[in-house]
Structure 1
Amino acid sequence: MSLTNVFGVDIGGSGIKGAPVDLERGDLADERFKVLTPQPATPDAVADRVREVAEHFGWAGRPVGVTFPGVVTDGTTRTAANVDKGWIGVDAAGLLSDRIGSPVTVVNDADAAGYAEMTFGAGRGRTGTVVLLTFGTGIGSAVFTGGRLVPNTELGHLELDGHEAEKRASTKAKEDRDLSWQQWARRVGKYLAHVEMLLSPELFVIGGGVSRKAEKFLPLIEGVRAEIVPAQLQNNAGIVGAGMAAAAAAHGVAAAAVGD
């Protein structure tokens, strides 16, 4: 993947951030720029904010990768858990391409973070089953086995204590309920144990903004056999992975093979 002149945008439930991506280093080529996610997060409103992020860097006519917090198939958004339901069934790649004036590749947000971590970060060189989980407004997931992605797994919607897991164990749930690190770690551990029962991974990679504070909660997690580590690219993984997906599309490479 020699193309380095790419741009990544990470759409989240609370913020939309982006930056040019250096694919040689697997890092941002410039300081990221962030705007608030509009409320309601309708397709048109979000597209305007994505354009604002791209225009901040004078980016037009060159490849752009954009993450989306939901299932994405062939550039179309199929679910919308933490944004407006109007995204369901939208040709997101077409909408954003028209709005930005650049070729756009759209990918599930956690899958993008997984691409980056498997290539440049905590999952590099691991060939067994690896599960990356991004904790934020919700819980995103990316599952790799043999270095290959199983796309759009959306494990944050598994049931935990009679509720969707992300309603119990996301960073937002911690903040909304004013949970201590110990209380939250107990919920996260219970969730990880459930995922481990289903998939038997050798490694969990914990991403999202909370990965910057991994020392506050990872040592408190119990009852999980798999190795648990923080994402090395932390909250920039989605932007880097989006850039990787854009570069792969420019070369005609399937998204699942981005990390190859």
Structure 2
Amino acid sequence: MSPADAPKPSPRKKTARETTAPGPRTLAIDIGGTGLKALVLGPDGRSLTERQRVATPRPATPQAVMGALTKLIKPLGAFDRVSVGFPGVVEEGVTKTAHNLHKGWVGFQLAEELTKATGRPVRVLNDAGVQGFGIIEGRGVEMVLTLGTGMGCALYVDGKYVPNLELAHHPFRHGKTYEEYVGSAALKRVGQKKWNKHVQRVLEQIQPIWNPRKIYVGGGNAKLLDIPLPGNVQLTENVAGLLGGFALWKDEPRPR
């Protein structure tokens, strides 16, 4: 049989990722005290790639983290813009605090440096703030708590983010801050059972002060919770910290 007479292979059925409507692809990055994560989101805000993760380098200097991010995002393919969740206060793309990374992050031009590294526009927000955009309903007062290396916190009023609320570093009990009470170091020090009680006390303290309609609890250690949760408290998937990156560009006009 000649090549011309050979049966033609049937067309391969396209996957959901390949049939995504055209539009900007968003590289979402989550910088954490323990891990660095990234994936690419399509124009509908859904993931187009599998999540990539590497351990946060130690010491977690800006140079070390930037180098690790370059390797992390390489397998993810093309993207048009970048969203970053960062564990600290961020103002106009500049990181102001980074309690669980390295003092070199104070005053670091993260958005500018990532723009140079990727050749794409970059927007940066506190990591709990980004996570909230992936899960909030946009009604009333909503709060996000993330339980990981430290404790992240974000507050929203009718879907609008209140920036740079660092509840983690506010004094809580026995001379310890919220973060010292429920962060990873506390979990390791007191054990899972007692740590759960600590988290329960934090939730009880937050309710009468902030009176949130909903509290979303996420982060890497949220899976260890085995306490009864109040009706307005909801556990969330950790991937929300990446999926919320799409919302950082919601004011960007869609291509026509």
Q: TM-score, normalised by structure 1?
A: 0.82
- For 1:73 and 1:251, how far apart are their aligned partners in 2? 23
Aligned to 2:12: none
RMSD: 2.1
Aligned to 2:107: 89
Question: Which one has the bigger helix percentage?
Answer: 1
User: Is residue 146 of structure 1 aligned with residue 158 of structure 2?
Assistant: yes
Q: Deviations over 1:214-259 (max 9, x none)?
A: xx4241x5xx6x611111xx111111112331x336449xxxxxxx
- For 1:105 and 1:195, how far apart are their aligned partners in 2? 30
Q: Deviations over 1:139-165 (max 9, x none)?
A: 111111122111121211121211111
Identity over the aligned pairs, expressed in percent?
Answer: 33
Q: Secondary structure at the match of 2:97?
A: coil
Pair member with larger Rg: 2
User: Is residue 164 of structure 1 aligned with residue 177 of structure 2?
Assistant: yes
**Aligned residue runs from structure 1 range 108-257, under 5 A:** 108-118=126-136, 124=137, 127-161=139-173, 162-174=175-187, 176-177=188-189, 179-180=191-192, 182-213=193-224, 216-219=225-228, 227-231=232-236, 234-245=237-248, 247-248=249-250, 250-251=252-253
Report deviation, 1:114: 0.6
Q: Secondary structure at the match of 1:105?
A: strand
Q: Deviations over 1:121-149 (max 9, x none)?
A: xxx2x512111101100111111112211
Query: How many pairs were matched up?
Result: 232
CA 178–113 in structure 1, closer or farther in 2 if over 3 Å, else same? same
Q: TM-score, normalised by structure 2?
A: 0.83
Report if aligned partners of 1:63, 1:250 keep a CA contact under 8 Å in 2: no
Q: Which residue identity lines up with residue 79 of structure 1 in the other structure?
A: T
Q: Deviations over 1:67-125 (max 9, x none)?
A: 1100111101111111111111111100111122322111110000011112xxxxx2x
CA 71–105 in structure 1, closer or farther in 2 if over 3 Å, else same? same
Aligned to 1:100: 118
Out of 54, 57, 61, which is 1:42 matched to? 61
Q: Which residue identity lines up with residue 57 of structure 2 in the other structure?
A: P
Report which structure shows greater RCO (CA 8 Å, sep ≥6): 1
Q: Which ranges of 4 or more aligned residues in structure 1 deviate by more than 6 Å?
A: none
Q: Gapped runs of 5+ residues in structure 1? A: 119-123, 253-260
Q: Which residue identity lines up with residue 228 of structure 1 in the other structure?
A: V
Report deviation, 1:66: 1.1
- For 1:77 and 1:185, how far apart are their aligned partners in 2? 31
Q: Which residue identity lines up with residue 226 of structure 2 in the other structure?
A: F
